[in-house]
Chains A and B, each alone.
Chain A
Amino acid sequence: MTVATKHQASAASPQAMHRRRKPLPTRLYKVFRVVALIAVVLFLIAPLFWMLLASFKTNVDIYDTGKALFFSPTGENYANVLQRNNYFVFIFNSFWVAFVSTALSIVLGVPAAYAMSRFTMHRSALVVLMARVIPGVSLLVPWYYVFSNLRMVGKFEVLILSHMFVALPLIVYIMMSYFDSLPLELEESAQVDGLTSIGAFRRITLPLSVAGIATAGILSFIFSWNNFMFALVLSGSSTKTLPVAIFDFVSYASIDWGGLMAAATVVTIPIMIIALFTQKYIVSGLTAGATKG
């Protein structure tokens, strides 16, 4: 080790000699780390990139392996998907269902999470969190029973309700850990200053919780946007959401790969753009409650 250090030192500039040199294994690790990180990024990004490329190819080009990377791009797939297959309707449906179910879940979930956090209602919290564990199908069968007897299958109301079963527990879970981390003293001093306890919640705690609510809301929106199974059973032809629309794309005999990839891109791009701008919130939401006992 000393030999290596000396050898390095003699080659280095005079200024560098004052700093202590890192030992060889550390420098090797640094090289390894860069290579490994590049490999990880490639592994995660390459498939998405491939999907994006294919969405700009004609089906002839997709079948030609020689044109994997170099081809003349076409917007035809997108034109087909958006116009002929009516994807604007599905985009609106997906957005509407995700937006309303998230908004309603926030209205119901935030006060509930507050009560559960402040009064340590562990058993009640457990009931709500159970919803994260139950397989969706076991909820779908009874809902389908009830809603088809009410002749409501295929309506937005039913779809929004069903998405709230995912959204509400998620929001309660994230907001509980958020409220747990807010100091109680702020509310107490507000109450000393004459606010009622609900007043303190409304004027002090809620404004302080905007970041937490944003976190919960964004995640809930994403989960709802991505939800497939509930919409597969409960949506009708006019309320179909994007994931179901994509699934229907392949039920024909031969697959229109270009169109399929364009459709898949249309679904994923909005959510990825949201994710890029709200990265911090998404990470904190996904890891909420994971690091404490």
Chain B
Amino acid sequence: MSVLNAPGSAPARSAGRPPSMGGNFSAWSNRHRKWLFAAPAMIFVGVLIVFPLVWTLYLSLTDSQGSVRAATDFIGLQNYLTVLSDTQRFWPAVGRTMTFTGVALVCEVVLGMCIALLLWRPFRGEKWVRVAILLPLVATPVAVGMMWRLIFDPNIGFANQLLGMIGIPPQPWLSGQDTALGTTIFMDVWQWTPMVVLILLAGLTSLSDEPDEAARVDGANAFQRFFYITLPLMMPTLIVAILLRGIDALKTFDILYATKGKGGGSFNEVETLNVYAYGLSFDYNQYGLSSAVLILFFMIIIGSMWLLTMRKKAVSK
């Protein structure tokens, strides 16, 4: 009950306490509407998100495997030691997660910025370009994965036909041990660059024209105006875009699992941390080990988010 009287609810009480607490439900609910409104969602989140997290933490300290009904033993940090010393699957997966996220993010932000600048000023046919930008964004990732599987098929795919027209020999794409990760990065760039474009475009349209105009009057050319005026002003929006896209890129699962299946292919060539953790849990039922991987993965995500938020605060000043 003491929570309900938190200082935040002061505005509702400022009219003065009604004489009686009981009986008058309407007055009571008005006074406590802050928690009345927020509580259901908070409880939902608490029970079904915070509790699983705590449970994952607990599982990561046990040898749980096989059946979910099997008895488990507490084994301390053993799972973490196993995972952290695993140079066969875990560390390569960390590397692939970082490569996937890093390369995809750089491509998406650079391409996204270019496309957003192209779209910035109004033009004829703008409506159609906007539709084209929206379509990849809403397409079901699994279906997108299947679509690219056909396009990148080494024998019948459109990608190799296209390369053939300009005289480049066919590539193995998804089925190649070295090319698979790059191909999945390409898919991610295709699907999510539009997201970056939309965010950056919203940022560009909210910019005031004055600094740009002033620089133009002073004789700055387009490149100078972009690098010295627009880009610094866009920095906070850019970091938001990187943050949102980065979190999702780290957690990419659908297109990887849809194109390469269990374990990220027979040589684990696209096995990122998320795919690895999923495989440990639901293909091999190693719940204890996978929980340890997940906790480490979660720490990586939180860590990178924290770094970016710090950067954003520094930029905003």
Contact = CB atoms under 8 A, between A and B. Distances in A.
Interface of A: 25, 29, 33, 36-37, 40-41, 43-45, 47-48, 50-51, 54, 62-63, 65, 68, 108-109, 111-112, 114-116, 118-121, 124, 127-128, 130-145, 148-149, 161, 164-165, 168-169, 172, 196-198, 201, 222, 225-226, 228-229, 232-233, 242-243, 246-247, 249-250, 255, 257, 260-261, 263-265, 267-268, 271-272, 274-276, 279, 282-283, 286-287, 289-291, 293
B44 A135 contact: no
B290 interface: yes
15 contacts: A47-B147, A47-B151, A50-B150, A50-B151, A108-B40, A139-B53, A198-B29, A228-B258, A243-B143, A249-B146, A263-B146, A264-B142, A264-B144, A271-B138, A286-B198
Contacts of A140: 278, 281-282
A65 B148 contact: no
Residue from the set B38, B118, B141, B206 with the largest chain A CB neighbour count within 10 Å: B38
Which A-B residue pairs are the 10 nearest by beta carbons?
Answer: A112-B41, A111-B37, A142-B52, A264-B143, A115-B37, A287-B202, A142-B55, A138-B294, A115-B38, A243-B142
Interface in B277-317: 277-278, 281-282, 287, 290-291, 294-295, 297-298, 301-302, 305, 316
Contact of B9 (A44, A48, A119, A272): A119
Contacts of B45: 127-128, 130-131, 168-169
A44 B38 contact: no
Nearest to B155: A63
Contact of A161 (B12, B40, B48): B48
Contacts of B123: 33, 37
Given A168-B44, A243-B143, A293-B316, A116 B38 contact: yes
Chain B's interface: helix, strand, loop or mixed, by majority? helix
A133 B12 contact: no
A272 B135 contact: yes
Main SS at interface, chain A? helix
A108 B203 CA distance: 30
Contact of B30 (A135, A198, A242, A265): A198
A131 B49 contact: yes
B240 interface: yes
Contacts of B125: 37
Given A271-B139, A290-B244, A291-B202, A276 B59 contact: no
Nearest to A109: B41
Interface in B219-248: 222, 236-237, 240-241, 244, 247
Contact of A108 (B30, B44, B51, B282): B44
A246 B30 contact: no
A268 B44 contact: no
Given A109-B41, A197-B33, A279-B134, A137 B277 contact: yes
Given A137-B290, A141-B56, A246-B146, A115 B140 contact: no
Given A116-B38, A264-B147, A222 B59 contact: no
Contacts of B237: 290-291
Contacts of B291: 138, 141
A164 B36 CA distance: 20
B69 interface: yes
A139 B277 CA distance: 12
Nearest to A249: B146
B33 to A, nearest CB: 6
Given A25-B222, A246-B258, A268-B144, 7 more contacts: A41-B128, A44-B194, A168-B45, A172-B41, A275-B134, A290-B202, A291-B240
Nearest to A286: B198
B156 A141 contact: no
A130 B42 CA distance: 12
Contacts of A283: 130, 134, 198, 202
A44 B135 contact: yes
B33 A247 contact: no
B270 interface: no
A250 B249 CA distance: 25
Nearest to B38: A115
Contacts of B305: 133
B274 interface: yes
Contacts of A225: 140
